[in-house]
A and B are shown apart, each in its own frame.
Chain A
Amino acid sequence: MALNRDFVGRTYPASTSYEVCRVKIREFAAAIGDHNPIYRDPEAARAAGHPDVVAPPTFPIVFSLSGAGEALADPELGLDFAMVVHGEQRFAYTRPIHAGDQLLCTSTITEIRSVGRNELLTITSEVSTVEGEPVCTTYNVIIERGGAA
């Protein structure tokens, strides 16, 4: 089913902040098999010039879609979850994320377009600290297979 274009431009702020902690970073690093001490050891991170352990570049996937999840589940959008695959992903950093960060994430549906038989929906999320310091922008393209047929 074609997606409802009225959703383009809608913005979804996260309802709560996300607190980045050492334990979660270590768990994520273990899950991707990465033993880099900068993810695990605060001393190693400080020696590399960071205030605390750093999160891997793809870590924001853990929290960056919570706001948009509400939009994707909205029946008015017309998204068939069974047909969804992840199309593209990008992270653009102002600075690395580290343990101790309190992050806010605001997601906007920035584009919906048809490519062949598929519908492509782009979610752009601005991640900043609760103090308002910009941290990163994430771009997530999901594909609804057959949605435009």
Chain B
Amino acid sequence: MTATVKYDEVEVGQEIPAVDYPVHRVNLVMYAGASGDFNPIHWNERHAKAVGLPDVIAHGMFTMAEAGRFVTDWAGDPGAVLDYGVRFSSMVVVPDNDEGAVITVSGVVEGKLDDNRVVIALTARSGDSRVLSRAKATVRLA
């Protein structure tokens, strides 16, 4: 397992620049198929609105996966992620248009642990909402 970021070159408080992840309906259809979560609130606008949602919303696990991608892209190796947890605090509404939605993820190095481990605190936003809270990943660096 070889993360490309070196433990000795990372400081507590260091910010990891934000990345935008666009989300369109097709991404939710693909995620439904890949994950096996076919809840119609994630692909059927008629159903979503009938249960009181503003529109189709992304799977929470899709949002978690995008924030996970932010971490693995930074670390350089997905195998470097030792622990990853989030709380789902708001929904990502995905309209059926060319723009879709955008999930913006940023991070900060919150702590350095022994054994080359660091804790990354993540922020994920979509529109005006913070869509994840208490999002943290522990990663083993090189």
Chain A residues within CB distance 8 Å of chain B: 24, 27-28, 30-34, 36, 38-39, 48-50, 54-58, 61-62, 82, 85-93, 96, 139
Given A31-B35, A48-B1, A96-B78, A90:B66 Cβ within 8 A: no
Q: Which residues of B contact A93 (CB under 8 A)?
A: 81-83
A89–B81 Cα gap in the complex (Å)? Answer: 15
Residues 68-101 of B, flagged 1 when their CB comes within 8 A of A and 0 if not, give 1101110001110111111110000000000000
A57–B122 Cα gap in the complex (Å)? Answer: 15
Quick one: which of A27, A38, A139 contacts B77, CB cutoff 8 A? A38
Question: Are A28 and B35 touching (Cβ within 8 A)?
Answer: yes
Interface: B31 (CB within 8 A): yes
A139–B78 Cα gap in the complex (Å)? Answer: 19
Interface: B33 (CB within 8 A): yes
Interface residues in B, total, Cβ within 8 A: 36
B61, B65, B72: residue with the most chain A Cβ atoms closer than 10 Å: B65
Instruction: Write the nearest CB–CB distance from B66 to chain A, whole angstroms.
Output: 7
Instruction: Write the nearest CB–CB distance from A7 to chain B, whole angstroms.
Output: 22
Q: Which residue of B lies closest to A138 (CB)?
A: B85
Question: Are B78 and A90 touching (Cβ within 8 A)?
Answer: no
Question: Are A90 and B86 touching (Cβ within 8 A)?
Answer: yes
A33–B103 Cα gap in the complex (Å)? Answer: 13
Question: Are B78 and A36 touching (Cβ within 8 A)?
Answer: yes
Interface: B14 (CB within 8 A): no
Given A88-B85, A89-B64, A49:B21 Cβ within 8 A: no
Q: Which residue of A lies closest to B87 (CB)?
A: A88
A50–B86 Cα gap in the complex (Å)? Answer: 26
Instruction: Write the nearest CB–CB distance from A51 to chain B, whole angstroms.
Output: 11
Question: Are A57 and B72 touching (Cβ within 8 A)?
Answer: yes
Question: Are B1 and A50 touching (Cβ within 8 A)?
Answer: yes
A49–B83 Cα gap in the complex (Å)? Answer: 19
Quick one: which of A28, A62, A86, A139 contacts B60, CB cutoff 8 A? A86
Q: Which residues of A contact B77 (CB under 8 A)?
A: 38, 48-49
Question: Are B78 and A30 touching (Cβ within 8 A)?
Answer: no
Quick one: which of A27, A30, A50, A90 contacts B84, CB cutoff 8 A? A90
